Structure 1
Amino acid sequence: MDSKFLNKMGITLDLALEAREIIRGETGQEIPGVRMDRESYDNANVTIVHIEDEAAQTIMGKPVGTYVTVEAPVIKQNNQQAHKEVTEILAEQLKKMIDLPMESNVLIVGLGNWNATPDALGPRVVDKCLVTRHLFNYAPQELQGGMRPVSALAPGVLGLTGIETAEIIRGVVEKTRPALIIAIDSLAARSVERISTTIQLADTGINPGSGIGNKRAGINQETMGVRVIAIGVPTVTLAAVIAQDAIEKYIQSTGGQLGDASLAIKKVLEPFGGNLTVTPKEIDTLIEDTAQIIAGSINMAMHPGISPQDYAYYLH
């Protein structure tokens, strides 16, 4: 699959790692202005993509910034010890991005529609996060050391509220004045293998719905007035991508040649406006496990003085 097909189908890649893989595969060389680092662990691989200038931004289709991708197929397994390791890895990467004094107020935003399971990751994470801002204001005696003032919000989606999500968040930001926003959202992946096995951190904010062609107002430093860290997990892939991959594999196995299949694929997907998405049948379990990992990593990064065993005391 190449970038021409993605452009014809109007597909935007949510994962910076996938964008780099496609572009680098076409050119056969590293992209100028893009730098990459790798870290390996027993149950995960971490890839850090740095987009360093505007030229690289144009080529990658991603804003200048740092994109950390944690690839952990073990997330799909019922292995609590491995999940704990992935949580700790994610927490360490998140700590590096936060870089704020402990007294700084942080707002956690769970993006998505809680009524649609593949899009419910953000609200599920918010349900499991340890919020403490009210305790700092009303019950400081209940707090232990090593805790940070954290508030959380699951604003829903435009179809549920009639209000742009960015407008709701901006109103809360104006009242609570956080030093940082952490936004969690479901993403779309090019590769089905990355569904619920890959977690991306980005210090550039997020454009909700961009991966499925449903672009909403951006949630970033420019629109919010404060720094935004985005955490995303692919929960769907596009049917057009699966169709293109299947055609390419068939042509390769038969030794034929592949022409421009985008028109045929568009025709097949026409009843769905060309934006049919696919998610695994076990998505309920995958969302629950992934939300647990992300919430755990946020709790560790936000409140280093609290052990996981003590979280239940503060969760209500």
Structure 2
Amino acid sequence: MNLDFFKNNNISVDLAIEAHDIVRGQLETEIPGAVVDRHNYENATVTVVKIVEPQAAQMMGKPIGTYITIDAPAIRDNNRVAQKEVAEILAAQLSSLFNLPENANVLLVGLGNWQATPDSLGPRVVDQTIVTRHLYKYAPEELQGGMRSVSALAPGVLGITGIETAEIIKGVVEKIQPDLIVAIDALAAGSVERIGSTIQLADTGVSPGSGIGNKRTGINKETMGVKTIAIGVPTVVHAAVIAQVTSEHFLEKLQQNPMFSQIYNNLSPDYAQDVINSVLAPFAGNLMVTPKEIDDLILSTSKIIAGGVSMALHPAINAEQYSMYLN
């Protein structure tokens, strides 16, 4: 698949690593102005994509910034050892993006709709993350060194509140004046393999609902006036992507078979796109797909992200103390 397919189907590419691979595949060379670095761990691969030039940003459809992708298929296997390692990797990568003093004030924002499982990642993470701002005011004796002032918010979605998410967050930001915002949101993947197995970090903030075609005010430094780190996990994939991949594999098999190669040669280049448009017409081309085990995937990934965020923000807290500070 190329960028034209995504543009023709009005599909946003949420993951920077996917946008990079698509553009690089079209260019058949490295993207000028984009730097990629990879590190392998026992249960995960970390890929850092840095977009440093406007040209690369325009080609990839992403703002200039740093995008860190943690690929860990073991997350889907409910492997506790692997999940612990992923949480520790996440904490280390977040710490490299935070660059915060110990007395920093941090606001966590869980974006999404808690009533819709594939979109409930943000609120689930907030529910399991250590918040301490109230302790600083009402119970300072419960605190220890190495803990930061952290508050959390799950603002819901426009359809439930009637208020733009950015407006709610902006009001809270003006009141508590955080040094950093960490926004957690569900993403749309460009392949089924990445659902529930990939975590993306970005120092460019987030656009709520962009993965499913909704254009909302971004949560970033420009709109909030505060440095914003985004954490996202793909929980859905566009049906057109699945249909396109299926069509491509089918046509490849057709081409390889001497009995049907002539049929393949006579097909119009737009044949697959016409079929996809016809199948998805009842949904106006906007059908999202999520696996039936999405409940378990959300539970696993929310625990990993909450653990990684808590470790990064409160380096003095160990696993044994973690549950004591929840709620």
TM-score (normalised: structure 2): 0.95
CA contact (8 A) 1:148 1:303 kept: yes
The residue aligned with 1:177 is 177
Q: CA deviation at 1:262?
A: 2.7
Q: Which residue does the alignment assign to 1:73?
A: 73
Q: Which residue of 1 aligns with 2:8?
A: 8
For the residue of structure 1 that corresponds to 2:85, the secondary structure is: helix
Aligned residues of 1:9 and 1:262 also touching (Cα < 8 A): no
Deviation at 1:78, TM superposition (A): 2.1
* Structure 1 spans left out of the alignment, 5+ residues: none
Provide the aligned length of Structure 1 versus Structure 2.
316
* SS of residue in 2 equivalent to 1:131: coil
| Corresponding letter in the other structure for 2:146 | G
1:272 aligns with 2:280: no
Please give the alpha-carbon distance, in whole angstroms, between the structure 2 residues aligned to 1:172 and 1:10: 33
Counterpart for residue 131 of structure 1: 131
Q: SS of 2:135's equivalent?
A: helix
| Structure 1 letter corresponding to 2:292 | K
Q: What code does the residue aligned with 1:274 have?
A: G
**Counterpart amino acid of 2:277?**
K
Identify the residue that residue 232 of structure 2 maps to in structure 1: 232
Q: Which residue of 1 aligns with 2:150?
A: 150
- Retained in 2: the 8 A contact 1:13–1:19? yes
Task: Give 2:95's aligned amino acid.
Answer: K
Answer yes or no: is 1:111 the counterpart of 2:111.
yes
* Partner residue in 2 for 1:194: 194
CA distance in 1, matches of 2:162, 2:278: 32
Tell me the equivalent position of 1:42.
Answer: 42
Q: What is aligned with 1:97?
A: 97
Per mean C-alpha deviation after superposition, the further-off stretch among 298-307 and 248-257 is 248-257
Separation in structure 1 between the aligned mates of residue 237 and residue 96 of structure 2, nearest angstrom: 30
Q: Do residues 207 (structure 1) and 218 (structure 2) align?
A: no
Give the structure 2 partner of residue 62 of structure 1: 62
Establish whether residue 283 from structure 1 lines up as the match of residue 294 from structure 2.
Answer: yes
SS of residue matched to 2:154: strand
Match of 1:244 in 2: 244
Q: 1:145 deviation in Å?
A: 1.2
Whose Rg is larger?
A: 2
Structure 1 stretch displaced more, 103-112 or 262-271: 262-271
CA contact (8 A) 1:8 1:262 kept: no
In 2: Cα distance, 1:60 partner to 1:21 partner: 9
Corresponding position of 2:314 = 303
Over aligned residue pairs, what C-alpha RMSD do you find?
Answer: 0.9
- Taking the aligned partners of 1:53 and 1:21, their CA distance within structure 2 comes to 17
Deviation at 1:144, TM superposition (A): 1.3
Q: Secondary structure at the match of 1:155?
A: coil
Match of 1:292 among 303, 312, 317: 303
Amino acid at match of 1:46: V
Aligned mates of 1:85, 1:227 — CA distance in 2: 27
Secondary structure in structure 2 of the residue aligned to 1:236 = strand
* Runs of 4+ with >4 A deviation: none
Per mean C-alpha deviation after superposition, the further-off stretch among 293-302 and 256-265 is 256-265
What's the CA shift for 1:211? Answer: 1.4
Q: Secondary structure of the residue that 1:156 maps to in structure 2?
A: coil
2:68 partner SS: strand
CA distance in structure 1 between the aligned counterparts of 2:283 and 2:311, rounded to whole angstroms: 41
Find the residue that maps to 1:150 and give its secondary structure. strand
Q: Do the aligned partners of 1:133 and 1:149 also contact (CA within 8 Å) in 2? A: yes
Alpha-carbon distance in structure 1 between the residues aligned to 2:235 and 2:101: 33
Distance 1:262 1:184 in 2: 34
TM-superposed CA distance for 1:273, in Å, is 2.3
Letter in 2 for 1:315: L
For residue 12 of structure 2, what is the amino acid of its counterpart?
Answer: T
How far apart are 1:266 and its partner, in Å? 2.4
Give me the whole-angstrom Cα distance separating, in 1, the residues matched to 2:31 and 2:132: 43
Is 1:86 matched up with 2:83? Answer: no
